[in-house]
Structure 1
Amino acid sequence: MLKFIRSLYFGKRLFYALFGISILFLISFWFSPLYSITWILTSVLGILVLTDVSALFRVNGIEADRILPEKFSNSDDNRVVIEIANKYGFRLNAEVIDEIPVQFQKRDFLKQIRFTPHKSIEFEYFLKPLERGEYIFGNLNIYVSSIFKLAKRRYTFNKDQMVKVYPSFIQMKKLDFLALDQKINLHGIKRIRRIGHTMEFEQIKEYVRGDDVRTINWKATAKHGNLMVNQFQDERSQPIYSIIDCGRVMKMPFEGLSLLDYAINSSLAFSNVALKKKDKVGMLSFSNKIDHLQKASSKLSQLSRIMEALYNVNTGFYDSDFSLLYSRVKKYISHRSLLMIYTNFEHMSGLQRQLPFLKALAKQHLVVVIFFENTEMIRLTEIAPANLSESAHQTIAEQYAHNKSLMARELQRHGIQALLTPPQDLSINAINKYLEIKSRGLL
């Protein structure tokens, strides 16, 4: 009985009808013939309500399921599918309210559907998480009513479904093609000027437009009568490490994501491309201590290990200890490696404090320091000032942006590769930097 009461609701039409009947009873105080008619209408309404409730509760006429992917991709649109089957023998009106995880702070989900008898329907919606972790869905609530819409019956399904949000593997798949063809050159995607290479000989092939004329094989050209060139392949199995700063400087948010999440998404996409290039990839995260260290490997399972490690990486409010990073790298990474260090410097003084440790790392390894442009400051420099106050703010923003460029030059002056990038372009630019280093044979 309690279950019946909890699942029974009444529609707006019933309350409108009761309000109308109340008005008629009031009017019948002065016009007595209306009193009998009002009671007849009340009886008819009661019969309709009982019929409606009986039809809805006679059988369990709704089956539904919320279909979730195995995992969500952070900062991407993830598809959620709702399947509903109508087993009633009459038309239904349904209101679907899905209890979305609290992380989304979305409390206005409502989907209105009309069902034909004994038919099924499917619809989808998309969720874009901005934090990694476990997301728990509540009830999938379906309120059904007949054509009278006097009463409703609530069905609930799929309580407490959980899905984990991992670093952006969708972004990783989108950038996967960059590892397949060195000649791909799409506007805004791959911007590499090939300067030189240290590659191993692979084969002799016929010259096509775009091949480096310096690789022409003149003996083979004379023999075949057509221009022939030597084709080379990249050096294989070089150790590549993504080193992620988890200190407080990485908590700064841009467009809903922290700098740490941008770095994590980029590390996953970059590691996938490096594995496709037959290099060994590893990962290290640190702040005031070493959080995770995944030794470089070229095994196919390495990407899964890195994803699981990145899933648990979090930032705090501690200052990052670059001296600890140097000591751990010197102890555990003995071979010359490419170190992609994701961090951020807001002031030249912050860079100067860490520069001795970066220079020490650069003596044994090829170090690429990746830090971020402040896009809000850049946007401020592009706005025409309307008054003196805005002009002063713009001047400070321009100085701030110029200091970022000075930091990149300071790193390069000490033989350290620098990549200054907007957060939203981080993955593309990091992969381009890696491919440039491969093509130049710097490692």
Structure 2
Amino acid sequence: MIDFIKSLYFGKRFFYAFFAIALIFLCSFWFGILYSIGWILLVLLVFISILDIISLFKHSSLKAHRELPEKFSNSDENQVILKLRNKYSFTVHAEIIDEIPVQFQKRDFLLSLVLPANSEKQTKYILKPLMRGEYTFGNLNIYISSPLKLAKRRYIFNKDQIVKVYPSFIQMKKLDFLALDQKISLQGIKRIRRIGHTMEFEQIKEYVPGDDVRTINWKASAKQNEFMVNQFQDEKAQPVYSVIDCGRLMKMPFEGLSLLDYAINSSLAISNVALKKKDRVGLLAFSKEIHAIQKAGSKLSQLNKIMEAMYNIDTGFYDSDYSLLYSRIRKNLPQRSLLLLYTNFEHMSALKRQLPYLKALSRKHLLVVIFFRNTEILKLTGLNPETIGENAEQTIAEQFIHDKNLMLKELLRHNIQSILTTPKELSVNTINKYLEIKSRGLI
């Protein structure tokens, strides 16, 4: 009985009809004939409502299911599918209220469907998460009403489903596809001209117009009586580490995502590209402590290990300990490696405090410091100031931009590779840098 009462609701039509009958009873105070009409209509309303309730509650004739993907991709659109099956012998109207995870802060979710008799229907909606971690879906509530729409019955399905939100593997696959298909320049990733021959020998092949004449193998050409050239391939199995700063400065949000999320998405994309290039990839995340470390590997499972290590990493409100980073890299990375350090510096003084550690790292490894342009500050520089306050804000913004450019020059002066990029272009620019380093044979 309690379950019946909890599942029973009345529709708007019922309350509109009840309100109209109440008005008739009110008017019967002046027009007596309306009193009898009011009672007739009230009895009719109760009778029809009972029939409507019986038709809805006679059998459990609705089945529904929420289909979730195995995992969500952070900062991308993810599809949730709802499948419904109507076993009633009449058309029903369904109102769907899905209790989506609290992280989305969406409390007005509502889908309306019309389900013909004895039919199945599928609908879907899109969710775009902006945080990594575990997301819990609550009840899938479906309110069914007959064509009369006087009463409703609530069905509950799929309570407490959990899905994990991982770094953007959709972006990773997109960049991987473009790179392998030689179309990556369409997204702003440039081709890098090969310089020198710091590559491994692969084979001798026939000369074709366009081949570098300096690679002609004269002995093979004399034997074959035609020009033959040496063909080289990129050196493989080189360790590439994504080193992610999880300190307080990486908490800054841009377009809904923190800098840490941008860095994690980029590190996943570059790891995938490096694996396709037959290099070994690894991960190190740090702040005042080491949050995650994954030794470089070249197996296909390496990408999944990196993804699992990164999906629940979060920033704290602490300054990052670069001395800890240096000691851990010195201890665990004996081989010369490419270190892609995702971090952020807002002032020149902050860079100079960490510069001794960066210089020490760059002596043994190829270090690339990746930090961010503040896009909100860039917007200020494009405005026309009308007041003294706006003028002061623009001056400060220009000083910040100038400091960022000084940081680039300071790193270059100490022979440290660097990338200064907007968060949105981070993955593209990082892959650019990696391809450039590979083509120049710097590692």
Q: TM-score range by the shorter chain?
A: over 0.9
CA distance in 2, matches of 1:110, 1:417: 51
Matches within 5 A, 1:26-65: 26-65=26-65
Matched, 1:431 2:431: yes
Call closer, same or farther: CA 1:90–1:221 in 2, change over 3 Å: farther
Matched, 1:284 2:297: no
CA distance in 1, matches of 2:222, 2:141: 77
Give the deviation of 1:429 after TM superposition.
1.1
Task: Report Cα offsets for 1:352-392 as digits up to 9, x if no partner.
Answer: 01101111111111100111111111121122333443233
CA distance in 2, matches of 1:197, 1:416: 23
| More displaced stretch, 369-378 vs 198-207 | 198-207
Aligned partner of 2:256 in structure 1 is 256
Letter in 2 for 1:22: A
Give the deviation of 1:185 after TM superposition.
3.1
Give the deviation of 1:33 after TM superposition.
2.1
Aligned partner of 1:189 in structure 2 is 189
Matched, 1:382 2:378: no
Aligned partner of 1:109 in structure 2 is 109
Aligned partner of 1:268 in structure 2 is 268
Call closer, same or farther: CA 1:421–1:222 in 2, change over 3 Å: farther
CA distance in 2, matches of 1:71, 1:20: 51
CA distance in 1, matches of 2:230, 2:186: 25
Matched, 1:295 2:295: yes
Aligned partner of 2:202 in structure 1 is 202
Give the deviation of 1:207 after TM superposition.
6.4
Task: Report Cα offsets for 1:182-226 as digits up to 9, x if no partner.
Answer: 685325133535444411232345667876565466787899899
SS in 2 for 1:63: strand
Task: Report Cα offsets for 1:259-311 as digits up to 9, x if no partner.
Answer: 11111111111111111111111111111122222111112211111111112
Give the deviation of 1:125 after TM superposition.
0.8
Give the deviation of 1:30 after TM superposition.
2.1
Call closer, same or farther: CA 1:187–1:341 in 2, change over 3 Å: closer
The Cα RMSD (Å) is 2.1
Call closer, same or farther: CA 1:221–1:119 in 2, change over 3 Å: farther
Aligned partner of 1:306 in structure 2 is 306
Task: Report Cα offsets for 1:64-92 as digits up to 9, x if no partner.
Answer: 00000111111111110000111000011
Task: Report Cα offsets for 1:225-271 as digits up to 9, x if no partner.
Answer: 99865432110101111111111111111111111111111111111
Aligned partner of 1:119 in structure 2 is 119
CA distance in 2, matches of 1:399, 1:223: 66
Aligned partner of 2:162 in structure 1 is 162
How many pairs are equivalent? 443
CA distance in 2, matches of 1:70, 1:135: 12
| More displaced stretch, 217-226 vs 132-141 | 217-226
Matched, 1:12 2:12: yes
CA distance in 1, matches of 2:349, 2:314: 25
Give the deviation of 1:144 after TM superposition.
0.8
SS in 2 for 1:175: helix
Aligned partner of 2:337 in structure 1 is 337
Call closer, same or farther: CA 1:54–1:281 in 2, change over 3 Å: same
CA distance in 2, matches of 1:308, 1:417: 29
Aligned partner of 2:350 in structure 1 is 350
> Alignment identity in percent?
68
Call closer, same or farther: CA 1:181–1:88 in 2, change over 3 Å: closer
Letter in 2 for 1:71: K
Call closer, same or farther: CA 1:122–1:187 in 2, change over 3 Å: closer
Call closer, same or farther: CA 1:185–1:31 in 2, change over 3 Å: closer
SS in 1 for 2:69: coil
CA distance in 2, matches of 1:14, 1:243: 63
Residues 251 and 315 in structure 2, CA contact (< 8 A), matched pair in contact too: yes
Aligned partner of 2:100 in structure 1 is 100
Letter in 1 for 2:369: V
Which runs of 5 or more residues in structure 2 are unaligned?
none
- TM-score normalised to the size of structure 2? 0.94
Which runs of 5 or more residues in structure 1 are unaligned?
none
| More displaced stretch, 210-219 vs 365-374 | 210-219
CA distance in 2, matches of 1:374, 1:193: 31
Task: Report Cα offsets for 1:31-57 as digits up to 9, x if no partner.
Answer: 222222222211211111011001000
Matched, 1:418 2:418: yes
Task: Report Cα offsets for 1:335-358 as digits up to 9, x if no partner.
Answer: 111111111110010000110111
Give the deviation of 1:396 after TM superposition.
1.8
Residues 271 and 303 in structure 2, CA contact (< 8 A), matched pair in contact too: yes
Call closer, same or farther: CA 1:6–1:364 in 2, change over 3 Å: same
CA distance in 1, matches of 2:401, 2:220: 53
SS in 2 for 1:186: helix
Letter in 2 for 1:92: V
CA distance in 1, matches of 2:200, 2:236: 9
